[in-house]
Amino acid sequence: MDENRVGMTTAQETAQAQQHEARDETVRKKVLIKSYGCQMNAYDATRMADLLAGQGYDETEAVDQADLVVLNTCHIREKAAEKVYSELGRLRVLKRERAEAGLETTIAVAGCVAQAEGAEILHRSPAVDLVVGPQSYHRLPAMLAQAAQHRRPVDTEFPVDDKFGALPRPQSRRIRARGHTAFVTVQEGCDKFCSFCVVPYTRGAEASRPPEKVLEEIRHLSEAGVREITLLGQNVNAYHGEAADGRLWSLARLLEAAASIEGVARLRYTTSHPRDMGDDLIAAHRDLPQLMPYLHLPVQSGSDAMLAAMNRKHDRALYLRLIDKVRAACPGIALSSDFIVGFPGESDADFNDTMRLVEEIGFAAAFSFKYSRRPGTPAATRAAQVEDDVASARLHALQALILAQQTAFNRATIGRTLAVLVEKPGRHPGQVTGKSPYLQPVHFDASPALVGDIVAVRIEGQIANSLSGRLIGHGAATHASGSRPAAVALASGGLP
């Protein structure tokens, strides 16, 4: 624990924060939270905003108006920390300019870079006032009180107290302002220790929230008008929440309970690991109308040699069997995945195995990256690092194949009627935009009064990575009514 926190109990911290809040309760300040990386960071950002609202902070998107700037960082890519320091350099200038105008600016670094770098951030960036890891941001009020005393606290502990239990319940008006979709973290951390990944070191071991707490949060979101919930976890299908009766719930059971909550029309989950894709979860894709026919299941490579080197704990054959079982349970499902090319030791043959896997399965979308070294991970120091130009060429070829499959998948929806959750007004007058069950953006002409509704849209065209369509009516293709959309699947043999 950092020296600035030694001797302070949680109760003392809370009391100090309340005193600090009382001094400023008549003055509303502005906070800008800039998030990088995954959906879990986006979720954490909303929870931090809810927490800080009780401390007198309203959100702003204008950095020059922010009294508090929080960089909610991600450490998944190489040189992530350097990008944070570059941003901090710009904020240092802004902080000085605001000080010259008589305005105070507090700068906080949160998230996984904060967890990895800790006090080093304070040494390298004197403008930073506090550093807090992803498991400790519920302590922000107390840390801000310390920062106001120029103590520059650092908290990168893995606290024994429940972070989620310490966070305030978000106000309904704030939920409504964020729209009709929401993330809910149900699981954090990972025990897989893939050789390229920093998550076990920055987020800790796998831990699951009690199902009652998750369902309470979902119920509150639904009552405020949220129609679509995405359950989040670093390894979400490893969820094993302990209920009040002592029994462990699987993700499938949690999804079933969430589907029974009034107002919840759509459910999704991400990100999964093949080793934890149980039969009950596969069956949920068959049995739960609210569970969208879209599965993101990272494979990383099509080469058994590379999968072993990555310590993925699955092989190509297991992944292909899972895909077959998922498609048998839900023939209309869309698949996406993650791929890493240029992993240390990857040969042309290994890369060709990946290309053949993509061709064999057919994906509606995928994320692909060149391998980048994560300090502290086993792969970072391995010999046989692949030359950058070779990795770049492989990435280009893989992304071209994935784009072709994505384009074909989107084109296959033309002429079909899909259920679209209307999310917001479109760019043009009289237009709205929403998401299909397959996460495709869909634009069509309709009244903005439909925002929040699920409507039937006949798809008529493809525009880059989105679709255009024509409104048919309400409810004609909604999953909430128990009906499934017509199958839109991409396979090596062609489209249905």
Q: What does the pLDDT look like over 274-327, one tens digit per residue?
A: 999 999 999 999 999 999 999 999 999 999 999 999 999 999 999 999 999 999
How many domains does one find in the chain? 2
pLDDT of residue 24: 43
User: Does some domain include residue 69?
Assistant: yes
pTM: 0.85
Mean of per-residue pLDDT scores for the chain: 89
Q: How far apart are the first and last CA of the chain?
A: 58
What token pair was written down for 398?
């893989």
Task: Give the CATH number for residue 42.
Answer: 3.40.50.280
Element (H, E) at 39: helix 39-53
Q: What's phi and psi for 380, nearest 5 deg?
A: -65, -30
Higher pLDDT, 26 or 221: 221
Q: What does the pLDDT look like over 69-82, one tens digit per residue?
A: 999 998 766 666 77
Q: Give mean pLDDT, residues 443-459.
A: 96
Higher pLDDT, 163 or 461: 461
pLDDT of 18 > 90? The answer is no
Q: Give mean pLDDT, residues 30-45.
A: 89
What distance in Å separates the CA atoms of residue 121 and residue 332, rounded to the nearest whole number? 48
pLDDT of residue 491: 36
User: Does some domain include residue 40?
Assistant: yes
- Residue at which a domain ends, from 155, 187, 218: 155
User: Does some domain include residue 48?
Assistant: yes
Q: Give mean pLDDT, residues 271-276.
A: 96
Q: Give mean pLDDT, residues 471-485.
A: 51
pLDDT of residue 161: 62
Alpha helix segments (H runs only) across 260-331? 279-287, 304-309, 316-329
pLDDT of 182 > 90? The answer is yes
Q: What does the pLDDT look like over 50-65, one tens digit per residue?
A: 999 999 999 999 999 9
Q: How far is CA 236 from the centre of its chain?
A: 11
pLDDT of residue 184: 97
- Paired strand residues for 291: 267
pLDDT of residue 4: 42
What distance in Å separates the CA atoms of residue 420 and residue 452, rounded to the nearest whole number? 10
Q: Give mean pLDDT, residues 415-437.
A: 96
Q: Give mean pLDDT, residues 455-476.
A: 88
Which range marks the domain in which residue 428 is found?
417-481
Among 92-106, 226-240, 251-265, 480-494, the minimum mean pLDDT is found in 480-494
Nearest Cα to Cα of residue 46 among 204, 202, 164:
164
Q: Give mean pLDDT, residues 115-134.
A: 93
pLDDT of 19 > 60? The answer is no
pLDDT of 158 > 80? The answer is no
Higher pLDDT, 60 or 493: 60
Annotate 394-431 with DSSP letters as a single string: HHHHHHHHHHHHHHHHHHHTTT-EEEEEEEEE-SSTTE
User: Does some domain include residue 265?
Assistant: no
pLDDT of 16 > 70? The answer is no
Q: What does the pLDDT look like over 346-384, one tens digit per residue?
A: 999 999 999 999 999 999 999 999 998 887 889 988 989
- Residue at which a domain ends, from 133, 155, 177: 155
Q: Give mean pLDDT, residues 150-154.
A: 95
Q: What's phi and psi for 284, nearest 5 deg?
A: -60, -35
What token pair was written down for 48?
């931090």
pLDDT of residue 160: 55
pLDDT of 164 > 90? The answer is no
Please answer whether residues 119 and 158 qualify as being in contact, where contact means their C-beta atoms are separated by less than 8 angstroms: no
Residue 62's contacts (CB-CB under 8 Å, 6 or more residues apart) are 30, 32
Q: Give mean pLDDT, residues 180-184.
A: 97
Nearest Cα to Cα of residue 46 among 152, 175, 140:
175
pLDDT of residue 12: 47
Provide the 10 A C-beta neighbour count for residue 246: 6
- Give residue for tokens 């080197």: 309
pLDDT of residue 482: 34
pLDDT of residue 41: 85
- Residue at which a domain ends, from 122, 155, 188: 155
Could you give the 3-state DSSP secondary structure of residue 66?
coil
pLDDT of residue 135: 87
What token pair was written down for 218?
């979902």
User: Does some domain include residue 134?
Assistant: yes
User: Measured over all CA atoms, what is the biggest interatomic distance in the chain, rounded to whole angstroms?
Assistant: 68
What token pair was written down for 19?
């005193």
User: Does some domain include residue 382?
Assistant: no
Numbers of helices and strands, H then E, in the chain: 16, 20
What distance in Å separates the CA atoms of residue 63 and residue 103, rounded to the nearest whole number? 13
Task: Give the CATH number for residue 439.
Answer: 2.40.50.140
pLDDT of 251 > 90? The answer is yes
Provide the 10 A C-beta neighbour count for residue 158: 15
pLDDT of residue 20: 46
Higher pLDDT, 279 or 9: 279
User: Does some domain include residue 83?
Assistant: yes
User: Does some domain include residue 148?
Assistant: yes
pLDDT of residue 27: 72
Give the CA distances from residue 302 to residues 20, 299, 318, in Å, rounded to whole numbers and listed in that order.
55, 7, 11
Q: How far is CA 403 from the centre of its chain?
A: 22
pLDDT of 15 > 80? The answer is no
